[in-house]
Amino acid sequence: MKRRTMLAGAAAFIAAGCSKIAGTGPGERLLAAAESWNEATHKALRGDALAPEYSKADISPDFRGNGTREIDEPAYKAQLANGFPDWELTITGLVEEPMALKMENIRKLPQRTQITRHDCVEGWSAIGEWTGPQLGLLLEAAQLKPEAKYIVFHCADTLGGSKYYESIDLDDAFHPQTIIAHMLNGEPIPEKNGAPLRLRVERQLGYKHAKYLTGIEAVASLDDIGEGKGGYWEDRYDYQWYAGI
């Protein structure tokens, strides 16, 4: 019965309609994806190592903000004050069904909640409870083309003159703990932590967890994105692209 309710939720999401960039029938596909996703998740859970998860008692009283902590644009501030009704997350690149998702649609999808530890290379950690749909579900709905090898995350912020971005491989993209989070500790993500959407990719270091997400792009190669090293810190300071922990 629970599962039916969940799928009904996905159906409502479809009725609300994610807007199409091109093609037809994203709704049906998302429903089908939500169904087969459950199974895929269970398979992945059996075979894939999970990052440790913690209890509510372990949650850090304040989850520090790092890198960009604020977006100083009137349009962003206005959206922040109103719960981001018009924010769009696009899914583009090497997918059969490009789409643009509004926050209300993202909130209606099946969700995963996880309490995990964030480790920044600058030498601090914080434990937080994150909630959002699994990235794998979104990618399944968008249907990756066979050539797709990496998932690139585009962000709204500019740091030191360059747009922040990051990328991961498909193993991490389809990992069950990889989610597009919209809540931290049961509340909408605060501005300093990447409102309204940020990646959680729990087997990787902090800089991979792109904040202020605007777009997800499937690509065959990272050569033509940014400076070609797969991420903001990778391009600028030779940080490792694979930041596994």
What are the residues binding ligand MTE (CB under 6 A)?
63-68, 120, 155, 157, 159, 164, 192-194, 206-207, 209-212
**Which lies closer to ligand MTE via its Cβ, residue 45 or residue 159?**
159
**Which lies closer to ligand MTE via its Cβ, residue 108 or residue 118?**
118
**Which lies closer to ligand MTE via its Cβ, residue 138 or residue 243?**
243
Under rule CB under 5 A, residue 206 binds Mo ion: yes
Q: How far apart are CA 205 and CA 240, in angstroms?
A: 10
Q: How far apart are CA 4 and CA 61, in angstroms?
A: 36
| Residues forming beta bridges with residue 117, ordered by sequence position | 127
Taking CB positions, which residue lies at the least distance from ligand MTE?
A: 67
**Which lies closer to ligand MTE via its Cβ, residue 97 or residue 234?**
234
**Which lies closer to ligand MTE via its Cβ, residue 68 or residue 134?**
68
| Contact of residue 11 among Mo ion, ligand MTE, none (CB under 5-8 Å per partner type) | none
Q: 106 with 156: CB under 8 angstroms?
A: no
User: Torsion angle of alpha carbons 55, 243, 133, 69, nearest 10°?
Assistant: 80
Structure tokens given for 209: 């967890």
| Contact of residue 178 among Mo ion, ligand MTE, none (CB under 5-8 Å per partner type) | none
Of the listed pieces 9-17, 133-141, 199-207, 235-243, which binds Mo ion according to CB under 5 A?
Answer: 199-207
Under rule CB under 5 A, residue 207 binds Mo ion: yes
| Contact of residue 174 among Mo ion, ligand MTE, none (CB under 5-8 Å per partner type) | none
Backbone angles phi, psi at 243, to 5 degrees: -105, 50
Q: 83 with 103: CB under 8 angstroms?
A: yes
Smallest distance, Mo ion to C-beta of residue 62, A: 16
DSSP calls for 106-171: HHHS--EEEEEEEEETTTEEEEEEEEE-BHHHHHHHH-B-TT--EEEEEEEEEETTEEEEEEEEHH
Binding residues for Mo ion restricted to 118-137, rule: CB under 5 A: 120
**Which lies closer to ligand MTE via its Cβ, residue 26 or residue 67?**
67
Binding site for Mo ion (CB under 5 A): 120, 206-207
